[in-house]
Amino acid sequence: MPLWIDTHCHLDAREFAHDVDAVRQRARERGVGHIVIPAVDVHNFEAVRGLAHRYGDSYALGIHPLCSPGAGEADLQALECVLDAGQRDPALVAVGEIGLDYFVPELDADHQEALLRAQLRLARRFDLPVLLHVRRSVDRVLKALREVPVPGGIAHAFNGSAQQARRLVGMGFKLGFGGTLTFDRALQVRRLAQALPPEAIVMETDAPDIPPHWLYRSAAERDAGAPQARNEPGELPRIAQLLAQLRGETAQALAEQTCRNAQAALPKLENLMKNGL
């Protein structure tokens, strides 16, 4: 059975609160050997750290752009403190989830960008890669990265153009693919996932979000009473199987390549994988 790394999964989300042990076990039984658990604000730093140590996984610490309205200097100081302490923690592999989100119009763009740059500076200081959120904001994130270069990382749930992808890859980033590419109408994402060089791709679920098509419920179905099924890290092998078919590869080859890519993007993963699996 292929071994997979889920490079982006919010195991601390409330959707998993009642059965997180079973969720992690299902994923392991399906071949998901390692999960990277990103924080979204200072209030879940301890939760993601605890889950990573509990399951032999890894975690990232950062302030998500959707959490930017409540985040200020005190939050950045708290992040700096935990990153400093985390230098002795092999499971702390990145700064994240950080970035920009221009899909939500009420968010203050200037404040988001100031927060992103501050966190990029912290990543540079502690020599950590970053997990990037780039929703409708790739060019502005690229501009920030040119101004504050960091040791690479992963552009999570990438949905930009081929040109933007090349620029990120040229800066040392891998691109994360998950449930979106399972939809027949996601033509741009599928074309990009097929065309990228093998060393540019990592797998993710973003669970409990971005469910694959077999879990998705339309608005009409939800209005009729059908609940929106949650995504789980255990869905990753099936998502990856579809990507392997799109690329004309075997699942085993894709698993081996994307695991190498994840370790290249997040260098501390290599020792964790050696010691924990």
C-alpha span between 239 and 269 (Å, rounded): 22
Q: Is 89 annotated as a binding residue?
A: no
Look up residue 2 and give its two tokens: 């292929």
Return the CA Rg of the chain: 17
Residue 64 annotated in ligand binding: no
> How is residue 184 written in tokens?
């027949």
Q: What is the largest CA-CA distance in the chain?
A: 51
Which residue bears the tokens 């081996």?
256
The answer to whether 111 is a known ligand-binding residue is no
Cα separation, 107 vs 49, whole angstroms: 28
Residue 34 is assigned to a ligand binding site: no
CA–CA distance, 207 with 27 (Å, rounded to integer): 12
Measured distance CA(214)–CA(103) in Å, rounded: 25
Q: Is the peptide bond before 97 cis (omega within 30 degrees of 0)?
A: yes
Q: Does residue 251 sit in helix, strand or coil?
A: helix
**What is the Cα–Cα distance from 204 to 179, expressed in whole angstroms?**
8
Distance CA 98, CA 261 (A): 20
The residue count of the chain comes to 277
Q: Which residue numbers belong to the known binding site?
A: 8, 10, 97, 133, 156, 206
Residue ranges of the annotated binding site for a divalent metal cation are 8, 10, 97, 133, 156, 206
